[in-house]
């Protein structure tokens, strides 16, 4: 028997009880040794309540307990009673008695309030002082509820209303219980409004799941259609779109969730049915793109074991500037996407690139204070986007990002913002422009990924940031990757990682450098 179980005696009946509350009253009674009975289940249940009143700490004459109903099932009869005070129901104060087909009681679930609590000084003064003449009206209660929910009365429908007693902080609060359906955005609230003060004591949205749908590019139409000749002003066929579920949206009709919201977007979309099925001609399409893809990459990062990397909503402005550019702001912790050429928020790889900057700032506030660190910021953003979408892309596009964004300006084949398979080496190919130099870093990461695999490399790349500073160099970060591998993989990938960085010039070549050769000799 566990610590939360006790043998109990119900008159002459032995049983077991568990989940005792602070009043030493069991919430469940089971293994009840009663005799079979041919009597009506209601009669059997009432007899049991009277004989168990000491254990349940209720009045044996059941003056505050009223029979509600009997439900029948293949298990027998389930008899339900509710507690009342001053002829008003006590919300949530129920007891259910389960009786099998032979008339034997075999289980009891109890949420009754002990008589001693009903008779406490606090409750007695409350019950005596609050006369019906002092109550706020139903209409006043509804007004208080609408004010609390910040909705207008013409946007709600009252499904149910009832004066009840609501247990709150060991006190019975006489309250208006309201079931309120909001038409726009869809919600269904159960609320308890103090019948004297109009204060909202408790509320809960009873709609458990919002089936929100959206339409997106995944990651963009060039990839989806494998068509390198699309143009910003051309027709994009329906086959370029994908209908998706938008996870964990709030019920406010807007694109707000646990990891992203569009609250910085001017005149952002709000819908009543949670169906965000737009196309690129609609401004709201970009909001859906940003919500879906940032939510998605954050869930992937968490699946790698990182539950503390930007695990919070990031604010997005999907069209904050008209330039063909986007940026992350460390001061406002937000991302702004530009609308020059192809709108940046139409290409999921651009969306994820900017999110990469936010990730780095979250792990290392102020990251990028030095030239090489700034370049690594650009390289990491490219790697994050390319790695995440690699499996969905045709071979020619795999080592590239921004294929849709780039159709407005790129003369390359295929069109792209940048590549991750360049032959650039450090330091000879440094131009001191962060995006160009970022290709050195992203190429290193991409090369390692091609050898050790996506998930293992992604995990290393995220993890090594925790070992960096705001001013880390390429070599600092390379060493951090090796240290992260030692901690995560017992150094299984050190040789691979080191060889890549030697090849790229970030580590000295031990074959050409005597001191480096002595240091790294055991690795080759």
Mean pLDDT of 429-453: 98
CB-based burial label for 237 (10 Å; 0-12, 13-18, 19+): exposed
Is residue 254 a contact partner of residue 268, using CB atoms and an 8 Å limit? yes
Closest CA to 313 of 288, 334, 284, 336: 334
Q: Which range, 146-150, 248-252, 324-328, is most confident?
A: 324-328
pLDDT number for residue 123: 61
Task: Give the whole-angstrom CA distance, residue 258 versus residue 467.
Answer: 27
pLDDT number for residue 497: 98
Q: What is the 3-state secondary structure (H, E, C) of 394-422?
A: CHHHCCEECCCHHHHCCCCCCCCCEECCC
pTM above 0.85, yes or no: no
**Backbone torsion region of residue 485, taken as left when φ is above 0, otherwise alpha when ψ lies between -120 and 50, otherwise beta:** alpha
Mean pLDDT of 139-164: 92
Higher pLDDT, 333 or 411: 333
For the ranges 1-10, 359-368, 485-494, which has the lowest average pLDDT? 1-10
Mean pLDDT of 51-64: 93
Closest CA to 333 of 353, 317, 350, 352: 317
Burial of 140-153, coded b for 16+ CB within 10 Å and e otherwise, reads: ebbebbbeebebee
- pLDDT above 90 covers a percentage of the chain that reads 77
Mean pLDDT of 301-326: 95
Whole-Å CA distances, 43 to 51, 72, 84, 406, 473:
12, 15, 19, 78, 81
Whole-Å CA distances, 202 to 91, 190, 192, 219:
12, 8, 5, 43
pLDDT number for residue 4: 62
Is residue 23 a contact partner of residue 58, using CB atoms and an 8 Å limit? no
Task: Give the whole-angstrom CA distance, residue 489 versus residue 467.
Answer: 16
Task: Give the whole-angstrom CA distance, residue 271 versus residue 252.
Answer: 9
Please determine, for residue 425, whether its predicted confidence score (pLDDT) is greater than 80.
yes
pLDDT number for residue 210: 62
For residue 381, the SS3 value is: helix
> What sign has the CA pseudo-torsion 43, 48, 53, 58?
negative
pLDDT number for residue 205: 83
Furthest CA-CA distance within the chain? 98
pLDDT number for residue 184: 67
Q: Give the phi and the psi of residue 102 in degrees, each rounded to 5.
A: -90, 0
For residue 318, the SS3 value is: strand
Task: Give the whole-angstrom CA distance, residue 262 versus residue 258.
Answer: 12
**Backbone torsion region of residue 305, taken as left when φ is above 0, otherwise alpha when ψ lies between -120 and 50, otherwise beta:** left
β-strands 200-205, 65-73: how paired?
unpaired
Task: Give the whole-angstrom CA distance, residue 521 versus residue 476.
Answer: 20
477-516 tens-digit pLDDT:
999 999 999 999 999 999 999 999 999 999 998 877 654 4
Domains of the chain are 5-115 (3.30.310), 124-205 (3.10.450.40), 213-523 (1.10.390.10)
Task: Give the whole-angstrom CA distance, residue 463 versus residue 203.
Answer: 41
Please determine, for residue 524, whether its predicted confidence score (pLDDT) is greater than 70.
no
Closest CA to 458 of 353, 301, 352: 301
pLDDT number for residue 519: 47
23-35 tens-digit pLDDT:
889 999 999 988 8
Mean pLDDT of 151-157: 88
**Residues 6 or more apart from 296 whose CB is under 8 A from it?**
none
Mean pLDDT of 282-302: 97
Please determine, for residue 129, whether its predicted confidence score (pLDDT) is greater than 70.
no
Task: Give the whole-angstrom CA distance, residue 259 versus residue 249.
Answer: 10
Is residue 327 a contact partner of residue 274, using CB atoms and an 8 Å limit? no
Query: pLDDT tier at 118 (50, 70, 90 boundaries)?
Result: confident
Mean pLDDT of 411-419: 94
Q: What is the 3-state secondary structure (H, E, C) of 247-265?
A: CCCCCCCCCECCCEECCCC
pLDDT number for residue 523: 47
Query: pLDDT tier at 124 (50, 70, 90 boundaries)?
Result: low
For the ranges 46-55, 346-355, 493-502, which has the lowest average pLDDT? 46-55
235-248 tens-digit pLDDT:
999 999 999 999 98
Query: pLDDT tier at 522 (50, 70, 90 boundaries)?
Result: very low
- pLDDT above 70 covers a percentage of the chain that reads 93
β-strands 26-30, 260-261: how paired?
unpaired
pLDDT number for residue 22: 78
H-run or E-run covering 299: helix 284-303
For the ranges 117-131, 157-171, 223-237, which has the lowest average pLDDT? 117-131
Higher pLDDT, 408 or 68: 68
Q: Give the phi and the psi of residue 429 in degrees, each rounded to 5.
A: -100, 10
For residue 380, the SS3 value is: helix
430 secondary structure, DSSP code: -
The count of C-alpha atoms lying within 13 angstroms of the C-alpha of 296, restricted to the half-sphere facing its C-beta, is 20
Whole-Å CA distances, 322 to 255, 278, 327, 339, 416:
22, 21, 12, 5, 20
Please determine, for residue 320, whether its predicted confidence score (pLDDT) is greater than 80.
yes
pLDDT number for residue 13: 84
Is residue 293 a contact partner of residue 351, using CB atoms and an 8 Å limit? yes
Mean pLDDT of 297-317: 95
pLDDT number for residue 498: 97
Please determine, for residue 1, whether its predicted confidence score (pLDDT) is greater than 50.
no
Residue 196: both structure tokens together:
């004297």
pLDDT number for residue 130: 52
Mean model confidence pLDDT for the chain:
91
pLDDT number for residue 209: 56
Task: Give the whole-angstrom CA distance, residue 18 versus residue 29.
Answer: 7
**Residues 6 or more apart from 86 whose CB is under 8 A from it?**
127, 165
Mean pLDDT of 430-456: 98
Q: Give the phi and the psi of residue 165 in degrees, each rounded to 5.
A: -105, 130
Beta bridge partners of 67: 81
Query: pLDDT tier at 381 (50, 70, 90 boundaries)?
Result: very high
Strand 314-321: give its sheet, edge to edge: 260-261, 314-321, 334-338, 327-329
pLDDT number for residue 125: 54
For the ranges 22-31, 207-216, 332-341, 439-448, which has the lowest average pLDDT? 207-216
């Amino acid at each position: 028997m566990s610590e939360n179980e006790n043998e109990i005696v119900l008159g002459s009946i032995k049983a077991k009880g568990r989940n005792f509350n602070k009043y030493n009253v069991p919430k469940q009674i089971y293994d009840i040794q009663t005799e079979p009975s041919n009597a009506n289940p209601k009669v059997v249940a009432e007899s049991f309540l009277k004989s168990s009143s000491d254990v349940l700490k209720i009045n044996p004459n059941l003056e505050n307990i009223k029979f509600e109903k009997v439900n029948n099932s293949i298990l027998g009869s389930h008899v339900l009673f509710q507690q009342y005070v001053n002829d008003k129901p006590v919300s949530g104060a129920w007891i259910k008695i389960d009786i099998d087909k032979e008339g034997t009681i075999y289980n009891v679930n109890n949420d009754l309030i002990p008589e001693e609590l009903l008779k406490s000084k606090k409750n007695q003064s409350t019950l005596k002082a609050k006369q019906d003449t002092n109550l706020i009206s139903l209409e006043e209660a509804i007004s208080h509820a609408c004010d609390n929910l910040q909705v207008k009365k013409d946007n709600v429908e009252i499904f149910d209303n009832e004066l009840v007693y609501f247990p709150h902080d060991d006190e019975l609060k006489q309250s208006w219980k309201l079931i309120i359906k909001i038409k726009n955005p869809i919600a269904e609230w159960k609320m308890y409004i103090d019948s004297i003060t109009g204060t909202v004591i408790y509320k809960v949205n009873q709609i458990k799941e919002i089936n929100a749908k959206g339409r997106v590019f995944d990651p963009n139409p060039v990839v989806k259609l494998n068509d390198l000749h699309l143009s910003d002003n051309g027709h994009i066929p329906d086959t370029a779109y994908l209908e998706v579920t938008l996870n964990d949206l709030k019920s406010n009709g807007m694109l707000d969730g646990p990891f992203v919201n569009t609250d910085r977007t001017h005149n952002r979309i709000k819908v009543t049915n949670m169906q965000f099925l737009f196309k690129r001609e609609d401004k709201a399409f970009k909001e859906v793109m940003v919500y879906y893809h940032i939510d998605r990459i954050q869930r992937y990062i968490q699946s790698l074991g990182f539950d503390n990397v930007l695990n919070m909503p990031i604010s997005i402005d999907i069209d904050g500037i008209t330039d063909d550019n986007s940026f992350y702001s460390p001061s406002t912790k937000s991302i702004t996407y530009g609308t020059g050429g192809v709108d940046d928020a139409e290409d999921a790889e651009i969306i994820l690139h900017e999110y990469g900057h936010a990730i780095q700032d979250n792990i290392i506030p102020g990251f990028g204070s030095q030239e090489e660190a700034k370049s690594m910021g650009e390289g990491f953003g490219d790697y994050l986007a390319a790695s995440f979408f690699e499996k969905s892309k045709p071979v020619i596009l795999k080592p590239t990002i921004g294929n849709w964004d780039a159709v407005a300006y790129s003369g390359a084949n295929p069109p792209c913002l940048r590549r991750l398979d360049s032959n650039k080496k450090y330091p000879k190919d440094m131009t001191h422009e962060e995006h160009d130099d970022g290709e050195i870093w992203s190429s290193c990461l991409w090369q390692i990924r091609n050898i050790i695999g996506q998930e293992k490399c992604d995990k290393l790349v995220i993890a090594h940031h925790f070992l960096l500073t705001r001013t880390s160099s390429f070599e600092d970060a390379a060493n951090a990757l090796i240290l992260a591998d030692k901690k995560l993989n017992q150094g299984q990938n050190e040789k691979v990682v080191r060889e890549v960085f030697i090849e790229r010039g970030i580590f000295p070549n031990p074959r050409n450098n005597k001191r480096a050769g002595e240091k790294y000799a055991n690795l080759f």
